[in-house]
Structures are given as structure tokens and as C-alpha cells.
Amino acid sequence: MAGLSSSLLQKFQEDGFLVLEGFLSSDECKALQQRIAAIVAEMDVPPHCRTVFSTHEEEQLRAQGASDYFLSSGDKIRFFFEKDVFDERGEFLVPPEKSINKIAHALHAHDPVFKSTTHSPKVQALVRSLGLQKPVVVQSMYIFKQPHIGGEVTPHQDATFLYTEPLGRVVGMWIALEDATLDNSCLWFIPGSHTSGVARRFIRAPGGTSYLGSEPGWDGSLFVPVPVRRGGLVLIHGEVVHKSPQNLSDRSRQAYSFHLMEAEGTVWSPENWLQPTVELPFPPLYT
């Protein structure tokens, strides 16, 4: 697949997001789904490490923000779960494969199937057309959005968690591995909301994690739904406001997502929760 045309690039720059249908083939989607099923089948997470993933601020600080399992996951493949899937002893109340919220944050580095997709020629061509000279991969995740219990993702900007100076250096690639519809909780965006800076930051310090600033009360009428068919890719500017509601349908909405940063002339904030490590520096996209 060639890079973006000038008209598509302009649309992305104006809206802060862009849908590219048919980015992956059916066989490519199937390969990622089969690989993640094998990873889930081998999952072994002790009860004391079973972390619930939430995007609600208080729950986020209490769960992920205070969990070493989460905070040290930047260079590993780890499992995060939906609410209400454990009993008081941390045992599963539903089949484990139906309990997972996401698998993160270094599939791109440790799994050959996901690494191949992340660094594929079509991804590289797309990123080159965005003008990125030295892009590096900062994180990746497989999102399940389980039937009936797939948790809400509240309105946010990715740069809240992946902050750079200057801004505008982070871009997300969100690939639908199943149809993402209004019924099973597709993404929603506020077009043009990437031009007003970052409302809040999730920071990590020796004393723990906290938020600087607060998320505005975004006007719900400004959000537009963005359905995507299986294999489609959503390009996401790091500062565009987006969300997805809880999945109340009987169909999951699986997706593979990863974030890139232009490393040339960019400072990755030392207060970000996710940091490159000696074992895993942020790998260059162009190999």
C-alpha cells in the first residue's frame, strides 16, 4: 500500500484522525487473531498480579497507577482485565479468555507476528508519507472489547500518557481485527480537537502516579462515531480527543494498536509512566 495522498494527509491534519479501510487483508487479520489466541492459551497470571484496567481517573490511579505489574509493563507482554471478572480471592468468575481487557505493552518487540505487522512495508510507507524521519515504536497493545463487559474508554488524549516536547510528535495506529460498529463500541472523535494542546498529564514520580490538570467536560455533541470494517486502520493524532463506550453487544471488537514517536528533535518526558529501558530502547520503525 502506498502512503497517503496529499488530500488524505490534509484531512488527517485537519481532523486529527483518518480512516484507511482495507489496510490489512483478511488473512493478515486472521494471523494476528490466531497468534493472540495462542498467547492467551498460555496465559499464567498469579492472583496478586491480576490488574483491572480502567480509564476512569480514580480507578486508574488506584489500579494501574499503584500496580508495579502495570508500571513495569512497558518492555513486557502482560495481561490486564475487565472489572468484575474476579471473586474476592482473585479467581476468575468467567472463562479467562473472556476476562481480558487488553494485552500490552510490548507485543511489537517480543512477538514475531506482531513485530512483523508493526514494521511491515505498508506501515513504513504510511509513516513516511506523514513526514516522520526517525519514528520509534513506544508501545503496543491488543484490545479485546469483550462482549457485554468490554469497558468504557473515557474521553482522552493519548499525549496525556505519552507526552513529548514539542507536542505533535506521537501518532497512533489502531487496526480493526473485527468490524467496529456503533453496536459493539467503535471509536468516537472530536474532529479538530488536536489543535488546543493537552488538558492533563498522567505523570509518574518516586511517590507514585498522579494527574496534572483535569480533563474538560467535553461536549458530547461534538463527538462523531468512526465505524471501521475489519482490516481498516484508524490513524490517530496524539492530541485528538477520542473515546469508546462500553460494549454491551454480544460481539467483541478486537483491535491491534501501537504508537509511534518522531525521535528527531523530540524529548520524551521523563515523567511519563512508560520509559525506554536498557533491555528495550524504543525500537526504530524503519529497519
Q: What angle do CA 88, 93, 99 make, to 5 degrees?
A: 110
In contact, 255 and 247? CB cutoff 8 Å: no
Instruction: Report how far residue 163's alpha carbon sits from residue 201's, in angstroms, rounded to the nearest whole number.
Output: 7
Count of structural domains, the chain: 1
Chain-centroid distance, C-alpha 137: 12
pTM for this predicted structure:
0.94
The reply to whether 277 falls in a domain is: no
The conformational region for residue 169 under phi > 0 = left, psi -120 to 50 = alpha, else beta, is alpha
Boundaries of domain holding 227? 6-268
Residue 93, judged by CB atoms within 10 A of its CB (0-12, 13-18, 19+), counts as exposed
pLDDT in tens, the chain (287 residues): 568 999 999 999 999 999 999 999 999 999 999 999 999 999 988 876 777 766 666 655 555 555 788 889 999 999 999 988 988 888 899 998 999 999 999 999 999 999 999 999 999 999 999 999 999 999 999 999 999 999 999 999 999 999 999 999 999 999 999 999 999 999 999 999 999 999 999 999 887 889 999 988 999 999 999 999 999 999 999 999 999 999 999 999 999 999 999 999 999 999 999 999 998 999 999 97
**Structural domain contains residue 278:** no
All three cell numbers of 27, joined, read 488473512
Q: What is the rounded distance in angstroms from the CA atom of residue 78 to the CA atom of residue 110?
A: 11
In a domain, 286, yes or no: no
In a domain, 53, yes or no: yes
In this structure, what CATH number is given to the domain that contains residue 176?
2.60.120.620
Q: Is residue 138 part of a domain?
A: yes
